[in-house]
Amino acid sequence: MFGDSATAITILFIIFAAGVGAFVRKRSRDKCLRDFEHNMVTLEDTSGKTIWGKLRVENTGLEFIYPEKQRDEEGHDEASYILYKYEYPKIGAVIRFHDELSETNKKEREEELKRTYHPGQCRRLKRKTLNVFRTVRDSVVEIVNLVISQAKKATPAGKVLTSQDKYVSQMKQELMGSAGTSFEPLLERYIGHKVVLELIKADKILEYCGVLKEYTAEFIEIMDVDYAIKQDEPARKADLVVPRKHSLIRHLGE
């Protein structure tokens, strides 16, 4: 009888873990990167290499779709460049230069900047509400751990739960991986304001002034900056998504 119950619970755990995983993965695309989706952008990696194309964002990585096929040195035709999520540490910046956008993308971007810069009370209230849900979401793993720990003390249910550690761990990893926003009170009050971003680039610390649009656990998004990929190039108006490990908001800029 107990064996039948354990088998049934195992099957339910597998189904539940798979369902949680599928639900979380579908919604775990980084919001900063997602804001640039379907726009022509430049990927600048930490070695200085650049890739240019229309951005597609998935939970497993990024794809940069070239406007035209390119032929490499070995004679292969290439239509896009894929950067997998485990390669994100190689990202120096994802750059959206304004003069490279389509007319439709330019209009959408201008509207977004208007909504972002000095947002009204309704937009701020919406963000505060979302932050409440994000904080609750970030606490889910701790709650799951506590509930499971208490349940394991029961018998015979405790023995069954202990036998499902593999699937419990899988669910916890999916939930932890979905925590795309690490709430930062110091940054939160400056959303929609001009700030000064410090970016480590080629062992130098460079400063860029722009409007703080968004931040997540891994990235910072800043709009309307003057940016040049190489020091000897003229700066152009752009929006940036940069890794938090290489950058930080240092000053309020207004």
Sequence-distant (6+) residues with CB within 8 A of 78 are 66, 69, 70, 71, 72
Sorting pLDDT into bands at 50, 70 and 90, what band is 129? confident
What pTM was computed for the model?
0.75
The residues pairing with 220 across neighbouring beta strands, listed in sequence order, are 215, 242
Q: According to the model, what pLDDT value does residue 122 have? A: 77
Q: According to the model, what pLDDT value does residue 72 have? A: 77
Q: According to the model, what pLDDT value does residue 162 have? A: 57
Spatial distance between the Cα atoms of 94 and 36, rounded to a whole number of angstroms: 9
User: Is pLDDT of 44 > 80?
Assistant: yes
The answer to whether 216 and 60 are in contact (CB under 8 A) is no
Q: According to the model, what pLDDT value does residue 2 have? A: 46
Spatial distance between the Cα atoms of 11 and 175, rounded to a whole number of angstroms: 20
Residue range 84-104: average pLDDT? 96
User: Is pLDDT of 6 > 60?
Assistant: no
Structure tokens at 121: 């009370």
Residue range 203-212: average pLDDT? 95
Residue range 136-143: average pLDDT? 62
User: Is pLDDT of 180 > 60?
Assistant: no
Strands (E), the chain: 40-45, 50-58, 61-71, 77-84, 91-97, 194-201, 204-215, 219-227, 236-243, 247-252
Sorting pLDDT into bands at 50, 70 and 90, what band is 173? low
Domain spans of the chain, in order of start: 2-29+123-177, 35-119+191-252
User: Is pLDDT of 163 > 80?
Assistant: no
Cα distances (angstroms) measured from residue 26 to each of 152, 211, 228: 31, 29, 34
- Angle of helix 140-151 versus helix 121-138 axis, rounded to 10: 30
Structure tokens at 189: 């009050």
Structure tokens at 73: 């040195």
